[in-house]
Amino acid sequence: MSDIELNNNNGADLISDTIKTFTGSVAIVGRPNVGKSTLLNAILGEKISITSKKPQTTRHRILGIKTMGVYQAIYLDTPGFHKNTPRQLNRTLNRTVIGALQEADLIVFVIDCRHWTNEDDLMLIRLKQQEKPVILVLNKIDTVNDRMKLLPIIDEISKKMAFSAVVPLSALKEKNVEALENVINEHLPEGKHLFAADDITNCTDRFLTAELIREKLMRLLGDEVPYAIRVEIEKFDDSETLLRIAALIWVEKPGQKAIVIGHKGEMLKKVGQLAREDMEALFEKKVFLHLWVKIKENWTDDDNLAQYLGHADR
Ligand SMILES: Nc1nc2c(ncn2[C@@H]2O[C@H](COP(=O)(O)OP(=O)(O)OP(=O)(O)O)[C@@H](O)[C@H]2O)c(=O)[nH]1
Ligand SMILES: [Mg+2]
């Protein structure tokens, strides 16, 4: 190809027309709380998926994109796969996981290296049905002093299924994450890149904003309330230097509303302050954030839920 032809091409065409490229979707799955979203953020070097100590923090399928030269991995962070319970929300979350498994070219199965549980076994049953390469990630190795202790655990788990690779790492401390990425790249099928090289997600700013607010609620509130919460962005006015955001926090009961607002409004103030700091870092501009709380009974069981959870890749 002559120089003139090279100049006439845009970058994306050029790379796929002249050299082999590899593109694939990678589902990150595992039981709740093992560190799936922390791992995605570590891979991307940017916080797009919210995390907390509480199980079932992730509710949507979150898409993250990482391009490294000829390789483009399209990651799907998923809700924690858990024992089915009657609540509609829980059933819907598991369905999201199964959908991501079916779509993916490759699966990253994350476990906590300290414990193997019944829910890990449940996940394994689903993985065996897929006949796709599965990479096992033993996360949280920073919590284990003697790494030699991991060897018998790896041995035991490897008997359960033929994994394409086993990678111990710490998502939180960002230890050995690159090794995982190299293994993932090796498993990507040949294909044209689907996103620009600097894209990291296709989630909208409104969605990321709502999620940051939900993260603070998940982290600051006690055990019960966070699961009854939904965040809706009412206003998102973006000017060159300032973002004006108004968000509505939906809860199911008056008691929950009181807890979210807190004594003399302290809780809501704290949520707003922390969320605003994260938004200013993410959008690199000043943010005015207005939060208010409203009650909608049983929102997790009505049709709105399907609508709320339905927009998979916002
Ligand atoms: N010590 C340690 N903690 C970690 C590591 N990775 C994640 N965590 C912590 O584990 C908790 C759960 O992390 P998340 O990333 O939210 O887990 P998740 O698997 O996405 O959870 P769900 O979305 O609820 O399924 C958080 O408190 C994280 O800080 C790690 O490598 N080491
Ligand atoms: Mg998560």
Nearest residue (by CA) to ligand 1, atom 12, is: 33
Class of domain 3-187 as given by CATH: alpha beta
- Name all residues whose Cβ lies below 6 A of ligand 1: 30, 32-38, 51-53, 55-58, 79-80, 139-140, 142-143, 170-172
Smallest CA separation from ligand 1 atom 13, residue: 35
| pLDDT on residue 9 | 45
Closest ligand 1 atom to 55 CA: 24
CA dihedral 219, 101, 89, 116 (to 10 degrees): -60
Q: Determine the topology of domain 205-310 in CATH.
A: GMP Synthetase; Chain A, domain 3 (3.30.300)
Provide the residue type at 189 as one letter: P
The pLDDT score that the predictor gives to residue 89 is: 73
Q: Please report the pLDDT score of residue 311 as a whole number.
A: 44
Domain with CATH 3.30.300.20 in the chain: 205-310
Distances (CA, A) of 288 to 90, 96, 221, 229, 279: 34, 33, 23, 22, 10
Residues in Cβ contact with 26 at an 8 Å cutoff, skipping those fewer than 6 apart: 73, 74, 75, 76, 104, 105, 106, 107, 108, 184
Within the chain, which residues score under 50 in pLDDT? 1-9, 11, 311-314
Closest ligand 1 atom, residue 33 Cα: 21
pLDDT of residue 156: 92
Whole-number Å distance, alpha carbon 31 to ligand 2 midpoint, is 9
Q: Using one digit for the tens of pLDDT, what is the confidence trace for 242-282? A: 999 999 999 989 999 999 999 999 999 999 999 999 999 98
Ligand nearest to the CA of 54: 1
Res 260: pLDDT = 95
The pairing of strands 71-77 and 62-68 is: antiparallel
* Cα 84 from Cα 44, distance rounded (Å): 31
- From 37, 51, 180, the mutation candidate for ligand 1 (largest count of ligand atoms within 8 A of CB) is 51
Residue carrying structure tokens 């979150």: 62
The ranges of the chain annotated as CATH 3.40.50.300 are 3-187
Largest CA distance in the chain: 71
Q: Are 110 and 36 in contact (CB under 8 A)?
A: yes
130/126 Cα distance (integer angstroms): 7
Tell me the ligand closest to 57's alpha carbon.
1
pTM (2 d.p.): 0.89
Centroid of ligand 2 to alpha carbon of 193 (angstroms): 26
Nearest CA to ligand 1 atom 27: 53
pLDDT reported for residue 6: 39
Q: Yes or no: say if 48 and 64 are a contact pair by the CB < 8 Å rule.
A: yes
Distance from Cα 240 to the centre of ligand 2, integer Å: 32
Give residue-wise pLDDT tens across range 49-74: 999 999 889 988 999 999 999 999 99
